[in-house]
Amino acid sequence: MSLIHSSLTNGVLLLTIDRPPANAFNLELIRELQKACRLAEGDAQARVVILTGAGHVFGAGQDLAELRAGGERIPYRQHLLETYNPLILQMRQMEKPILAAINGPCAGASLGIALACDMRLAAENARFVVGFNGIGLAPDSGVSLLLPALIGLGRASELTFTNQPISAEKALAWGLVNRVAAPENLAAESMNLAIELSHGPVGVFGLSKRLYNHAVLPNLAETLEYESHIQEIAGSRAEHKEGVAAFLEKRAPKFD
């Protein structure tokens, strides 16, 4: 059963992440999204892409239970080099607009994927959590570059260190999202914007995206590589072991 549902309407390719209960990423889902991005890039009929989540959650980030299934320490560097790093690059290098329709909570690696989109529309009840420090890890999936690029280094640092959620309203005020809609209107508003864009000069949109990548994110590939190096260090420390144990046991971590 596919974990990514796709439908093409009026030049808009809708990709829906569907891995209940929280649309957390496992290896299968990451590979399906990588494949969906490759197909979208090569499909001339798909002029704009919308990425959203099924149900009431956009994405809970990486599925920690899957990473711990083998009982051994995960080689985070290798994992990132094979999964999120190429996915984030795919999304930024796709010369078509990608809109994130953020229909609910968005955390961790899912936040990185949302940030890699060109525009973000959020439901009023959406919440954003950086998440990584809460389990003794450093930001990855491009979050270390994309988040401060959008909201500033001070705000990004505060959200990372405190792990506090940011509301859709505050996300709009800070520039993290472009628009906010009532939950029942999010899908329609996202589709309307995507259809509007699909009638535009999509080829020039792609060239514009190249320019913005060059001007604002010229070191994205290098940053993703460095994130994988830092995450390997973080993953080897006792803080991460305690953070994951606390998460799986549904208790507050004890880092001191």
Q: Residue 70: pLDDT above 70?
A: no
36 in helix, strand or coil? helix
In what order do the strands lie in the sheet containing 179-181?
A: 4-9, 12-17, 48-53, 98-102, 119-123, 179-181
Residue identified by tokens 């490759």 is: 38
Pick the range with the lowest mean pLDDT from 20-24, 86-90, 244-248.
244-248
Per-residue pLDDT of 209-243, as tens digits, reads 999 999 999 999 999 999 999 999 999 999 998 99
CA distance 50 to 33: 12
Nearest to 127 by CA among 163, 88, 161, 91: 163
CA distance 44 to 242: 48
Task: Show the domains of the chain with their CATH numbers.
Answer: 4-184 (3.90.226.10)
Q: Residue 69: pLDDT above 80?
A: no
Contact 117, 91 (CB under 8 A): yes
Angle between helices 220-235 and 143-151 (to 10 degrees): 120
Longest dimension (CA), the chain: 56
Nearest to 224 by CA among 142, 150, 118: 142
pTM: 0.95
Residue identified by tokens 């890890």 is: 137
Per-residue pLDDT of 184-200, as tens digits, reads 999 999 999 999 999 99
Per-residue pLDDT of 15-44, as tens digits, reads 999 999 999 999 999 999 999 999 999 999
Residue identified by tokens 């803080």 is: 239
